[in-house]
Amino acid sequence: MTASNNLTHEGAPTMAGATYNFAYLDEQTKRMIRRAILKAIAIPGYQVPFASREMPMPYGWGTGGVQVTASIIGPDDVLKVIDQGADDTTNAVSIRAFFQKVANVAVTTRTHEATIIQTRHRIPETPLKSGQVLVYQVPIPEPLRFLEPRETETRTMHALEEYGLMHVKLYEDIARHGYIAKTYAYPVKVEDRYVMDPSPIPKFDNPKMHMSEALQLFGAGREKRIYAIPPHTKVVSLDFEDHPFEVQKFSEPCAICGSRGIYLDEVILDDRGGHMFVCSDTDFCEEQRNEH
C-alpha cells in the first residue's frame, strides 16, 4: 500500500531537501509502525510500544491515529475522518486536509464509501463492513492508569492478568450510586484476555466493537502505544452478573431525521434553556433524511 511519489509540501522551507514523502512519514517509519500494527493484531487488546514520531499536529490532537493512518494508507484508499461523530468538526477537517495534501487521496464523508475511517470519540452508526479499517485516536491507552500511575506496575498487572483492582472500581460505583457510573472510555475485555481502553467513545458505542467485521486499530502518539481488535473478535464490557452493562438510551428521536436508537448531541437553541437533540453522526443523519 505504499507509493514513493515525493510531494512538495506547500509553504515548506525553501531550503534544499525540505520535501515530504507520500503520506508524510518516511518509508522506514511506516515499516516500523506496520510491524507494531501486525503485532497488535496478533495479540488483540495488547498495547504494543512503538517509536511514535513527532507529527505536524500537537500531541493529544490525534498524532497516534494519524501515524497509523499514514502507515496503512495507499493511493487508492478512500478516507473519512470524524471527530465527535461529525465530518465537519475542526479537527476532522484539519486531519482530512492533511491527508489530501500529503497523500493526495480521495476523501469522503460517506461511511460506506470509506476504506479507512479515522475517528475521535465515536464509532459510526452505520455498521462497518469487511475490508474497512477504523482508526481510533487514543489519549490514554492504559485502562488501569487511573488506578495505578506507574507503567512498570500496570504492565505487570496485564502480564499476570491481575484485574481485580478494575472490578474494585466498578464495585465502588455500584456501592455509591447503585450503578456503574462510567459513561465513556468504558473498559472492555478482549478475547477473554486483555483489559483494554476503547478510547473515550461513549459506552453507547462499546457493543459495536464486538465481532465487528472491520479491523479496528488504536493509535496513541504521545503515549507511544498501538493496539488492535481484529475482525470477528470478542469484546466484552466489564460488568457484574447482577449489574449488567447497559448503554445510554435517549427518550427523544433526532430532531432533524427522526431516527431513534442512535447517539444524540444536545444543541442549545437560546439562552433560556431551549435545546434539541440531533444525530451525533452527521453522515448517518444525512442518509436518513435522503431516504425519507
Partner 1 sequence: MYVAVKGGEAAISNAHRLLADRRRGDRDVPDLRIDQIAEQLSVGVDRVMAEGSLYDKELAALAIKQARGDLIEAIFLVRAYRTTLPRFGYTQPIDTEDMLVERRVSATYKDLPGGQLLGPTFDYTHRLLDPELAHDKQVDKPVTREGEHEKVVRVSSILAQEGLIEADGEMPEGRVPGDITRDPMEFPMERDTRLQALARGDEGFLLALAYSTQRGYGMNHPFVGEVRIGEVELEFEVPEIDFAIPLGTVQVTECQMVNKFKGSAKVPPQFTRGYGLVFGQSERKAMAMALCDRALRAGELGEDRTAPAQDEEFVISHADNVQATGFVEHLKLPHYVDFQAELELVRKMRAEQAKAASDAFDLAAE
Partner 2 sequence: MNIDDDAPLLTVNGVGKRYGNRIGCADVSFDLWPGEVLAIVGESGSGKTTLLNCLSTRLEPDAGSICYRTRGGEMRDVYQMREAERRFLMRTDWGFVHQNPADGLRMTVSAGANVGERLMAVGERHYGDIRGKAIDWLGRVEIASDRVDDQPRAFSGGMRQRLQIARNLVTHPRLVFMDEPTGGLDVSVQARLLDLLRSLVAELGLSAIVVTHDLAVARLISHRMMVMKDGRVIEHGLTDRVLDDPHAPYTQLLVSSILQV
Residue 2 CB, shortest distance to partner 1, in Å, is 15
Packing angle between helix 63-72 and helix 27-42, nearest 10 degrees? Answer: 100
How far is Cα 257 from Cα 77, in angstroms, rounded to an integer?
30
Strand order across the 235-237 sheet: 194-196, 188-190, 235-237
Set of cell numbers at residue 145: 492508569
Q: Is 187 in the site for partner 1 (CB under 8 A)?
A: no
With respect to partner 1, which residue has the nearer C-beta, 189 or 224? Answer: 224
Set of cell numbers at residue 255: 430532531
Residue 161 CB contacts under 8 Å (≥ 6 apart), including other chains:
193
Which of partner 1, partner 2, none sits in contact with 168, Cβ below 5 to 8 A by type?
Answer: partner 2
If residue 96 lies in a helix (H) or strand (E), which one and from where to where?
A: helix 90-103
Q: Is 203 in the site for partner 1 (CB under 8 A)?
A: yes
Residue 165 CB, shortest distance to partner 2, in Å, is 7
How far is Cα 129 from Cα 62, in angstroms, rounded to an integer?
24
Which of partner 1, partner 2, none sits in contact with 71, Cβ below 5 to 8 A by type?
Answer: none
How far is Cα 21 from Cα 133, in angstroms, rounded to an integer?
22
| Region near partner 2 per CB under 8 A, out of 20-28, 161-169, 183-191, 271-279 | 161-169
Active site residue 258: no
Q: Which of residues 22-61 bind partner 1 (CB under 8 A)?
A: 24-26, 28-29, 32, 49-56, 58-61
Residue length of the chain: 292
CA-based R_g, the chain, Å: 20
Residue 143 CB, shortest distance to partner 1, in Å, is 16
Q: Is 239 in the site for partner 1 (CB under 8 A)?
A: no
Single out the residue of 79, 280, 283, 288 in contact with partner 1 (rule: CB under 8 A).
280
Q: Is 168 in the site for partner 2 (CB under 8 A)?
A: yes
Which residues participate in catalysis according to the annotation? Answer: 45, 254, 257, 279, 285
Interacting residues toward partner 2 by CB under 8 A:
159-165, 167-168, 171-172, 174-176, 239-243
